[in-house]
Amino acid sequence: MVSQRNNTQRISGLAGQGPRLSVGGSARPSRLVPSPHLGVRTKRSRTPVRLLAGVLALVLALLIVRTPSPSPTHALELVRPKLMTSQLRTALPELSIRGKEKLSHTVKRGDTWGSITSGFGFNPVDAIELDNAMRTVAKASDDVGRTLQIGQHLELERAPDGSLLRVTTSPAAGVTLFLERQDEGKFLASVHRMQRVLHERVLTAELGPTTPTFAQAAISSGASYDLVDDLVDLFSDRVNFRQDFRLGDSFSIIFSEETLEDGTSVGVGPVMAAMLTVQGDDYAAIRFTGGDKKSRYFNEEGKLLGNTFLRYPVRFTRISSQFSNARFHPVLKRYRPHNGVDFAAPRGTPVRSVADGRVVYAGWKGAAGKMVKIQHSDRYSTAYLHLSKIGSGLRRGARVKRGQVIGAVGTTGRSTGPHLHYSFYDRGRYIDPMKIKLPTVDNLSKSARIDKVYLEKVLETLYHYQSLERPPVPLQEASEKTIPSTI
């Protein structure tokens, strides 16, 4: 196709060549008639067009000169709605319910499902349904309680219409409880439990200048308080934890630890084997399951352990007053015998029976306050004074087991503060329970005793760890603050 511009150029060229033809053969010059399609201008129209173009150019130039060009700031300026702070706060809740809203709450003393749900503006009926769902799942679960616990964290989810959709919480380590609303308005409870793995761990350390006691060294090297208590119970009939340890003494502990999938420790299992080197002497405790399917501890000679009296009726505490024939009494203000040992501990701390026996007295006993007395054999008996409460079911004639909780520390009777007064009797005569050689009973059958080959292998392992070069363990801040220096 030939363009319009080419057609115009071709006709303009022809106009300047040869004779100008007219109709009838006349030689008169004729005017060219412009074609509306070719855009050819005649001589007659050229002057007005030029004049008009000049006028338009002048007007345009004046406009450009007189009109200021907008600055970039003016060009980007936006029109914003003016919203007061009070209006903004009012608008925010309307925006939050357009989608699901996440809420959180930590249970405080006195909190109930009713107070928590009403605090977030939920239907009061939700509290009843949540409580029912939690109680239902608790009946079939050992790790889910029937009620909320102080410090328990709750995650709540609000629906776009403002109703409660879901509550998520962790009632125990590695356990997640979901309470989800169903169509009929009730809540369905479901539980997810992380897999637990049992690991074998070894702690070996040496007492140093900053950790001169067994408890300080053990805690600083990574042992838990419960693990320290277990070791004290295992060795207290052979080692005096308050007096025997010296700098350079050492220990090695093989125990099981339970962890979650993510590596979080959730508990320490039983001690598998342990050895203490105290002033050059080695003492071992080795766990073994006999032919009767019961697990017991044996010493380095294969003799039964745990068949003696417990040295301490209160776990992990400190001695505030020793056994003495002449102690200045803080209440009576005079010297008199102190026929027992006082253990300082917070009110409510559990008190244990130090051995199997039969209760001969349980109740109020004058200056002794609430007291329990237990006969362990024809020869030995013990008494526990100033209790805040006595264990349920404990009455004259009741049987108790070694380590059984029989009451709680208190300050009843003639007492200046919460503590346990512990007395030990040998044929009715007071003796110092911290200094006596604890009595033992060994009537174990041959099938229940430790295998000699197993005993030798475990001892070889313990001696290996004890022979390792170990720098003295430094004191950790936590152990310095919480561990009494008497153990």
Residue that is last in its domain, among 139, 164, 193: 193
Residues 389 and 468 grouped into a single domain: no
Strands (E) across 322-451 are located at 324-328, 335-338, 341-344, 350-352, 357-364, 370-375, 380-390, 399-400, 405-409, 419-426, 429-431
DSSP letters spanning 150-200:
TT-EEEEEE-TTS-EEEEEEEEETTEEEEEEE-TTS-EEEEEEE--EEEEE
Q: Is residue 116 part of a domain?
A: yes
Q: Please report whether residue 34 resides in a domain.
A: no
Is 466 in the same domain as 426?
A: no
Residues 170 and 206 in one domain: no
Judge whether 412 lies within some domain: yes
Q: What's 323's domain CATH number?
A: 2.70.70.10
Q: Which pLDDT does position 2 carry in this prediction?
A: 42
pLDDT for residue 359? 97
Distance, in Å, from the CA atom of 376 to the CA atom of 400, rounded to the nearest integer, reads: 9
Helices (H) and strands (E) in the chain, counts: 10, 22
339 located within any domain: yes
What pLDDT does 335 receive?
64
With b for 16 or more beta-carbon neighbours within 10 A and e for fewer, the 345-373 pattern comes to: beeebebbbbbbbebeebeebeebbbbbb
- Are 353 and 398 members of one domain? yes
Residue 463 and residue 427 share a domain: no
Its domain, for residue 422, covers 318-431
One digit per residue, the tens of pLDDT, for the chain of length 487 reads 444 444 434 333 433 444 343 334 434 444 444 444 434 444 444 555 566 666 566 655 555 545 454 444 333 343 444 444 334 334 444 444 457 899 999 999 999 999 999 999 999 999 999 999 999 998 888 888 888 999 999 999 999 999 999 999 998 888 899 999 998 889 999 998 888 888 888 999 999 888 888 988 999 888 888 899 899 989 988 898 888 999 999 999 999 888 887 777 777 888 999 999 999 999 999 999 998 888 999 999 998 887 778 889 998 678 888 877 655 556 556 666 788 999 999 999 999 999 999 999 999 999 999 999 999 988 999 999 999 999 999 999 999 999 999 999 999 998 889 999 999 999 999 999 888 887 776 667 888 889 999 999 999 999 999 999 887 877 765 444 344 334 4
Tell me, yes or no, whether 133 lies in a domain.
Answer: yes
In a domain, 211, yes or no: yes
**Residue 249: predicted pLDDT:** 93
Q: Is residue 17 part of a domain?
A: no
What is the domain count for the chain? 3
Collapsing DSSP states into helix, strand and coil, what is residue 320?
strand
Give the CATH number for residue 110: 3.10.450.350
pLDDT at 364: 96
In degrees, rounded to 5, the angle at the alpha carbon of residue 153 between the alpha carbons of residues 151 and 154 is 140
Are residue 266 and residue 169 in the same domain, yes or no? no
How far from 167 is each of 108, 353, 466, CA to CA, in Å? 17, 43, 51
Q: Are residues 215 and 282 in the same domain?
A: yes
Same domain, 286 and 323: no
Position 8 scores a pLDDT of: 39
Q: Looking at the structure, do residues 178 and 111 belong to the same domain, yes or no?
A: yes
Where does a domain end: 143, 165, 193? 193
How confident is the model at residue 95, as a pLDDT?
41
- On whether both 296 and 330 belong to a single domain, the answer is no
Q: Is residue 91 part of a domain?
A: no
Identify whether residues 426 and 452 lie together within a single domain.
no
Q: Which residues pair with 55 in a beta bridge?
A: none
> Where among 149, 171, 193 does a domain terminate?
193
Residue 66, judged by CB atoms within 10 A of its CB (0-12, 13-18, 19+), counts as exposed
Question: Are both 332 and 425 inside the same structural domain?
Answer: yes
**Half-sphere exposure in the Cβ direction for 119 (13 Å, CA):** 12
Task: Name the pTM for this structure.
Answer: 0.55
